Amino acid sequence: MARATAKKSSPASMAVFPGSFDPLTNGHVDIIERASEIFPQVIVAVLFNPSKESLFSQAERVALISKQFARYKGRVSVVSFSGLLVDFVQSTKSRVVIRGLRAISDFDYEAQMALINRKLAPKIETFFLTAREEHSYISSTVVKQVALLGGDVSKMVPKVVEQALSKKWQERQRLRRRPL
Ligand code: ADP
C-alpha cells in the first residue's frame, strides 16, 4: 500500500499570515484558526509601517494577538516585521503567504500583491481563504470607527480586543474633558 510521507518541518508546514491587525478582528481570528487546521505552524506577521498611523502600537497589536492565541502554544506564533514581505517570508524558511478575501473588491489589490510577490520571489505562493459570510463586513477600520464613538463591537472582535478598545475610548474621553 502506498503511503504518503511528509518530511517534518518541510517549508510548506509553515505559513505566514501578514497584516496590520490594527486591531485583530473576528475575521482575522477565523482565518488564523482555519489556516492552523491546514498548516502545522502559522506565523502571524504584524507589519510595522512607520508611514501609516495606527491606533494600537506595534507592541500592543502583537500582545493582543499573542494573548488571543496563547492556547495554541507553538502552532501560532506572532512576530513583527517591516520591509518587504517576501524578504520576511524567506527569512522564516516558509514558502506560503495566507491572505483573507472578504469580497470581490478585495480581489484586485490582493491579486496584484500576489503577482508582485511572485515576481520578487517565484517560490513563494499566496493562498487565499474566503472570509466567512458573517465576517465579511468586518474590517479593522470599521471596528475602530464604531469603538471610538462608544459603539458595541463585541460581535466583531475577541474579548481581549474589546477591552483594549474600551480603554482607548476612555483615554480619548478623558483627553476631551481635560480643560485647555
Ligand atoms: P492589511 O493592511 O495587510 O490588509 P489587515 O489587518 O487589514 O492588513 O488584513 C490582514 C489580512 O486579513 C488581509 O488578508 C485581509 O484581507 C484579511 N482580513 C481582514 N478582515 C477580514 C475579515 N473580516 N475576514 C477575513 N479576512 C479578513
Looking from the CA of residue 140, the nearest atom of ligand 1 is: 7
- Contacts with 51 (C-beta within 8 Å, 6 or more apart), sequence order: none
pTM of the complete model: 0.91
60-96 per-position pLDDT tens digit: 999 999 999 999 988 999 999 999 999 999 999 999 9
- Contacts with 144 (C-beta within 8 Å, 6 or more apart), sequence order: 22, 23, 55, 165
Please give the mean pLDDT across all residues of the chain. 92
**Strand-by-strand arrangement of the 14-19 sheet:** 76-81, 41-47, 14-19, 96-101, 125-130
Q: Which of 61, 102, 135, 144 is catalytic?
A: 102
The residue whose C-alpha atom lies closest to atom 10 belonging to ligand 1 is 19
Q: CB-hemisphere CA count at 13 Å for 92?
A: 27
| Span from the CA of 134 to the centroid of ligand 1 (angstroms) | 14
